[in-house]
């Protein structure tokens, strides 16, 4: 990945899609062939892949496009991309803030109503009342593929079908799935999907928005300016075809080239193997945590319903303190609410400690975590008789 | 680990003057958005200016051992003293906590606060230690405004 990015800067660093000289053409080629690789990685066509700065921006792009369309702005077509009072947006209680706040704001701007699917105590979506939540008023159903806190894997295909049955568009946050398991947009059945480069051995500063070609074509633009236009006069502008119309300004070319290299790397490893490896580690950690009754794991305990993000709470000890003790032994975990504050409130945990796995994580590292964790009750005097 | 001094653990397990009480002149609620730690803090002051007396500091602190201990130390150090002394104590705490470990803290000024000196070496935790102190200075400011 680093070599690919370095090669771009050293050999083809030029204004992509702008210059008419040799270097610019080579840069454009590198950028567009990266788009093909990145699209293929999720079973998509290159023309359906839009580059953004991160997954957050990709989700914001969709949320803003919806509100831009309400009053006919952004060069979009069709009533589908509009939000008005009476319309509803459905999200879930387990969303990362990135797939929650853009929709809160979209509703605030337009007068539409935000609703959400609740989460059960064991960290699954509570679909009991989905028929009341997902109705003909719903214009968007935005949800995550895999929870970044609980590891819960949601039934994406079923949810997308339910959304389509009432005429809503399905928007998927795939940040936690694309790097960890085989993802094919056709199989998932959603309309939009967002993921981030930095979680899959890619560079910082690149996110991906995939959308169905006909929807991207109809969808109003979000950021405007250079590179995304067809014609411009002092009075107004018309816009370039997809995907350029969504990529205003200097594109993230070197990052795209780096991300394509990361995709090639993961493809060579085999996503099936990566997934199996991470599942084995998750099982090892869950088993170890289950042996420690002073630890409460958030999320499903059944391995078949979860991925390799394991968040837990230690009785009587704040996650910050747990993380500090682990850090002291060189075990790096995330502590806090992991950008999912409402979810933590729901699960009665002000904060949690989260271990997450990737292809490079080893069983010995899981054991090191468990060993370091055993120091926690001793240090904080919360030792319980077992 | 030099971070978790016995004194800190003691304060975090049995925080001094914890709980929200009446009467109070101002209340302030501060949050650490990175971890979700929260503190609600009330001050009751009599008199005016630097010579005013901090009659009571009461608080509800939900957070890690560092943030709870720091709130407890704050209540212990400033209650019964003058507002001027409380402000100097805050400044001394802030200096120590943001010194990256170079300022060991002045025990005469900050009392048990010196036990938090180790926090300065963990930049991610400085905010935890300062949370209740910034809520306190905020509440003091409001209390003074209300009295004018």
Q: What is the pLDDT of residue A19?
A: 76
> Are the C-beta atoms of residues A144 and A92 closer than 8 Å to each other?
yes
Q: Is residue A382 over pLDDT 80?
A: no
Q: What is the pLDDT of residue A187?
A: 97
* CA A266/CA A272 separation, integer angstroms: 10
Catalytic: A263? no
First to last CA, chain A: 48
Q: Which residues of A touch B64 (CB under 8 A)?
A: 318-321
| Pairwise CB contact (< 8 Å): B35 & A335 | yes
Segment A18-29 shows an average pLDDT of 85
Please state, in angstroms and as integers, the Cα–Cα distance from residue A21 to each residue in A13, A28, A248, B43, following that order: 12, 11, 21, 69
| Pairwise CB contact (< 8 Å): A337 & B62 | no
Q: Which residues of A touch B63 (CB under 8 A)?
A: 318, 320, 350
Answer positive or negative: Cα dihedral of A259, A260, A266, A271. positive
- DSSP state, residue A320: H
- In residues, how long is chain B? 148
* CA A76/CA A66 separation, integer angstroms: 9
Instruction: Say yes or no: B64 contacts chain A, CB-CB below 8 A.
Output: yes
Instruction: Say yes or no: A351 contacts chain B, CB-CB below 8 A.
Output: yes
> Are the C-beta atoms of residues A208 and A221 closer than 8 Å to each other?
no
Q: Is residue A385 over pLDDT 60?
A: no
Q: Is residue A386 over pLDDT 70?
A: no
Q: Is residue B25 over pLDDT 80?
A: yes
| Pairwise CB contact (< 8 Å): A321 & B66 | yes
* CA A30/CA A78 separation, integer angstroms: 34
Q: Is residue A279 over pLDDT 90?
A: yes
| Token pair listed for B40 | 């609600």
> Are the C-beta atoms of residues B76 and B141 closer than 8 Å to each other?
no
Nearest beta carbon to residue A336 from set B9, B34, B125: B34
Q: Is residue A283 over pLDDT 90?
A: yes
Q: Is residue A253 over pLDDT 50?
A: yes
> Maximum Cα–Cα distance for chain B, whole Å?
47
Three-class SS state of A173 = strand
Chain centroid offset of residue A120 CA:
22
Segment B48-53 shows an average pLDDT of 92
* Mutation target among A318, A331, A349 for the B interface, most CBs of B within 10 A: A318
- B119 → chain A, closest CA residue: A324
Q: Is residue A3 over pLDDT 90?
A: yes
> Are the C-beta atoms of residues B57 and B43 closer than 8 Å to each other?
yes
Size of interface A-B (CB pairs under 8 A): 50
| Token pair listed for A360 | 């490079």
| Pairwise CB contact (< 8 Å): A350 & B65 | no
Q: What is the pLDDT of residue B148?
A: 67
| Pairwise CB contact (< 8 Å): A321 & B65 | yes
Q: Is residue A218 over pLDDT 50?
A: yes
| Token pair listed for A243 | 């995907």
Nearest beta carbon to residue B36 from set A344, A379, A381: A344
Q: Is B145 exposed, middle or buried (0-12, 13-18, 19+ CB in 10 A)?
A: exposed
Mean pLDDT over each residue of chain A, to the nearest integer: 94
Provide the pLDDT confidence category of residue A20 given band limits of 50, 70 and 90. confident
Q: Is residue A380 over pLDDT 50?
A: yes
Q: Is residue B141 over pLDDT 80?
A: yes
Question: Model-level pTM?
Answer: 0.92
Q: What is the pLDDT of residues A42-85, one digit of tens each?
A: 999 999 999 999 999 999 999 999 999 888 888 888 788 999 99
Instruction: Say yes or no: B13 contacts chain A, CB-CB below 8 A.
Output: yes
Instruction: Say yes or no: B122 contacts chain A, CB-CB below 8 A.
Output: yes
> Are the C-beta atoms of residues A113 and A88 closer than 8 Å to each other?
yes
Q: Which residues of B touch A379 (CB under 8 A)?
A: 1, 4, 9
Give the residue among A166, A154, A169 at the shortest CA–CA distance from A94.
A154
DSSP chain B: -TTS-HHHHHHHHS-TTBB--SS-SEEEEEEETTTTEEEEEEEEEESSGGG-EEEEEEEEEES-HHHHHHHHHHHHHHTTSBHHHHHHHHHHHHHHHTTTTS----HHHHGGGGGGGGGGG-HHHHHHHHHHHHHHHHHHHHHHHHH-
* Mutation target among B35, B61, B125 for the A interface, most CBs of A within 10 A: B35
* Mutation target among B9, B33, B36 for the A interface, most CBs of A within 10 A: B36
Q: Is residue B103 over pLDDT 50?
A: yes
Q: What is the pLDDT of residues B59-73, one digit of tens each?
A: 999 999 999 999 999
Q: What is the pLDDT of residue A75?
A: 86
Tell me how close the Cα of B23 comes to any Cα of chain A, in angstroms: 29
Q: Is residue A242 over pLDDT 50?
A: yes
DSSP A33-77: HHHHHHHHHTT--GGGEEEESSHHHHHHHHHHHHHHHHTT-TT--
Q: What is the pLDDT of residues A288-312, one digit of tens each?
A: 999 999 999 999 988 889 988 999 9
The ipTM assigned to this model is: 0.88
């Amino acid at each position: 990945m680093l070599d690919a990015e370095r090669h771009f800067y050293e050999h083809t660093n030029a204004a992509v899609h702008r210059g008419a000289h040799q270097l610019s053409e080579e840069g454009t080629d590198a950028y567009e062939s990266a788009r093909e690789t990145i699209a293929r990685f999720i079973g998509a066509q290159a023309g359906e892949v839009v580059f953004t700065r991160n997954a957050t921006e990709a989700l914001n792009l969709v949320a803003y496009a919806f509100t831009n369309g309400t009053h006919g702005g952004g060069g979009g077509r069709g009533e589908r991309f509009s939000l008005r009072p009476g319309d509803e947006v459905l999200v879930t209680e387990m969303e990362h803030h990135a797939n929650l706040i853009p929709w809160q704001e979209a509703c605030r701007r337009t007068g539409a109503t935000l609703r959400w699917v609740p989460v059960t105590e064991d960290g699954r979506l509570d679909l009991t009342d989905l028929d009341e939540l997902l109705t003909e008023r719903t214009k968007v159903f935005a949800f995550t593929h895999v929870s970044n806190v609980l590891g819960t894997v949601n039934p994406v295909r079923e949810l997308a079908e339910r959304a389509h049955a009432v005429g809503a568009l399905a928007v998927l946050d795939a940040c936690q799935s694309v790097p960890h398991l085989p993802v094919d947009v056709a199989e998932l059945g959603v309309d939009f999907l967002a993921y981030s480069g930095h979680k899959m051995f890619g560079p910082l500063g690149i996110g991906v928005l995939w959308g169905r070609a006909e929807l991207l074509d109809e969808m109003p633009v979000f950021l405007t300016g250079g590179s995304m236009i067809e014609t411009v006069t002092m009075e107004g502008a018309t816009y370039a075809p997809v995907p350029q119309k969504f990529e205003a300004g200097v594109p993230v070319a070197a990052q795209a080239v780096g991300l394509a290299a990361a995709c090639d790397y993961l493809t060579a490893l085999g996503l099936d193997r990566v997934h199996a490896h991470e599942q084995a580690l998750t099982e090892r950690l869950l088993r170890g945590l289950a042996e420690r009754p002073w630890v409460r794991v958030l999320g499903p305990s059944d391995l078949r319903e979860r991925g390799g993000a394991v968040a837990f709470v230690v009785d009587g000890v704040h996650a910050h303190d747990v993380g500090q003790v682990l850090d002291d032994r060189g075990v790096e975990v995330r502590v806090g609410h992991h950008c999912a504050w409402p979810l933590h409130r729901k699960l009665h945990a002000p904060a949690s400690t989260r271990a997450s796995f990737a292809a490079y994580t080893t069983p010995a590292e899981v054991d090191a975590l468990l060993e370091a964790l055993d120091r926690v009750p001793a240090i904080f005097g919360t030792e319980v008789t077992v | 680990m030099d971070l978790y001094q016995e004194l800190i653990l003691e304060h975090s397990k049995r925080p001094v003057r914890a709980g929200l009480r009446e009467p109070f002149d101002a209340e302030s609620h501060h949050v650490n958005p990175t971890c979700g730690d929260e503190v609600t803090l009330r001050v009751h002051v009599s008199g005016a200016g630097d010579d005013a007396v901090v009659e009571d500091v009461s608080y509800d602190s939900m957070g890690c051992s560092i943030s709870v201990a720091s709130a407890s130390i704050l209540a212990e150090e400033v209650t019964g003293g003058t507002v001027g002394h409380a402000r100097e104590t805050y400044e001394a705490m802030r200096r120590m906590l943001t010194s990256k470990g170079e300022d060991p803290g002045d025990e005469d000024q900050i009392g048990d606060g010196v036990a938090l000196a180790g926090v300065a070496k963990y930049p991610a935790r400085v905010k935890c230690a300062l949370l209740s102190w910034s809520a306190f200075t905020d509440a003091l400011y409001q209390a003074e405004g209300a009295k004018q």
